[in-house]
Chain A
Amino acid sequence: AIQMTQSPSSLSASVGDRVTITCRASQGIRNDLGWYQQKPGKAPKLLIYAASSLQSGVPSRFSGSGSGTDFTLTISSLQPEDFATYYCLQDYNYPLTFGQGTKVEIK
């Protein structure tokens, strides 16, 4: 199974900060990667698919990049509603595998 290593596991940031989260795959996965946001007690929500495509309705402050083994999710200017946990997911092959998650907290 492909391992997804996500970092950091948590971070503290202020409103307006630029935030970057990374995911590394244990083997090349082309651009078959998605990013999800999850708030406490809620289902995950798709933000980015195919590594860099913004899901409909998602604010443009979210962006994704990368290909092969290294991927990045960037929030250009953190908003109060962005405090949540973020996960990457490789959909290159089965079993699908998630990163461990990054909890974004208020500084």
Chain B
Amino acid sequence: EVQLVESGGGLVKPGGSLRVSCAASGFTFSSHSMNWVRQAPGKGLEWVSFISSSSSYIYYADLVKGRFTISRDNAKNSLYLQMNSLRAEDTAVYYCARDFNGIITDWGQGTLVTVSS
């Protein structure tokens, strides 16, 4: 069974930094591209970032480009999102999501990031 477990969310001040993580199990992590998707409270889904299986290809949404960095450690079956220069509008639940042949098929339960003074 595919399992994606996010962690690392919390309260951070505007301008601060936070790293969220996703622990993957139940599939061959190193063979799959991964994504981060977020959802602000009461709002819709917003794609944030993509990383290919070997980290060769990385993409970001314009709103986070230059501030967020996606990475992965295939030896640890883990995905990361380093978030710097955080803004109030970055407040959201951050989901880790598995890519299967270009389709987002599986999601974690999410971790809440709150940016507030």
Tell whether, in the assembled complex, residue B47 and residue A49 are in contact, meaning their CB atoms are under 8 Å apart: no
Tell whether, in the assembled complex, residue B62 and residue A46 are in contact, meaning their CB atoms are under 8 Å apart: no
Interface of B is mostly: strand
> Whole-angstrom distance between the alpha carbons of A36 and B95 in the complex?
14
B110: A residues at CB distance < 8 A = 43
Tell whether, in the assembled complex, residue B59 and residue A94 are in contact, meaning their CB atoms are under 8 Å apart: yes
> Whole-angstrom distance between the alpha carbons of A75 and B87 in the complex?
39
Count how many chain B residues have C-beta atoms less than 8 Å from C-beta atoms of the other chain: 20
Interface residues of A in 1-40 (CB under 8 A from B): 1, 32, 34, 36, 38
A36: B residues at CB distance < 8 A = 45
> Whole-angstrom distance between the alpha carbons of A95 and B104 in the complex?
13
Do A97 and B47 contact each other (CB < 8 Å), given the known contacts A46-B103, A91-B103? yes
> Whole-angstrom distance between the alpha carbons of A74 and B75 in the complex?
42
> Whole-angstrom distance between the alpha carbons of A96 and B97 in the complex?
13
Do A95 and B62 contact each other (CB < 8 Å), given the known contacts A87-B45, A101-B45? yes
